[in-house]
Amino acid sequence: MSSPTVSIEGPTSTTSEGFLAAAKSGGCASSSYGSSPTSPGEGDPAIWERIKDHPCFSEEAHHYFARMHVAVAPACNVQCNYC
C-alpha cells in the first residue's frame, strides 16, 4: 500500500517579491506595539529615566550587563536582577 502524495508547496506559493512587497507596505512590521523610546526626546521622560540604563533597552548597557532575553522587551518579566 502506498501513501498519498502531498505537495509541499501548499495551496499558494509565495515568492520573494511577495515578501518584499509585504515588508515595504508595512504588513510585517509592528507599528508602536511593543516598542520603547530609543532616545530621551521620545515618549515620557519619567519612563526614559527608568529604562535608559536597563540592559533590555539600552544597547550601551549590553557592554556591562548580559542580555538574557529579547533586546527590547515591552515589559521585562525575566529575573535579570537589574531591577
Q: What is the pLDDT of residue 29?
A: 44
> In sequence order, which residues have a C-beta less than 8 Å from that of residue 25 and are 6 or more positions away?
none
Is the residue at 80 inside a domain? yes
Is the residue at 42 inside a domain? yes
Q: What is the pLDDT of residue 75?
A: 61
Domain total in the chain: 1
What does each of the 83 residues of the chain score in pLDDT, given as a tens digit? 666 666 565 555 455 665 556 555 554 444 444 454 555 666 788 877 777 777 666 777 767 766 555 555 556 655 555 55
Q: What is the pLDDT of residue 33?
A: 42
Is the residue at 55 inside a domain? yes
Is the residue at 48 inside a domain? yes
Is the residue at 75 inside a domain? yes
Residue with cell 518584499: 20
Task: Quote the pTM value.
Answer: 0.29
| Residue span of the structural domain in which 56 resides | 33-83
The residue count of the chain comes to: 83
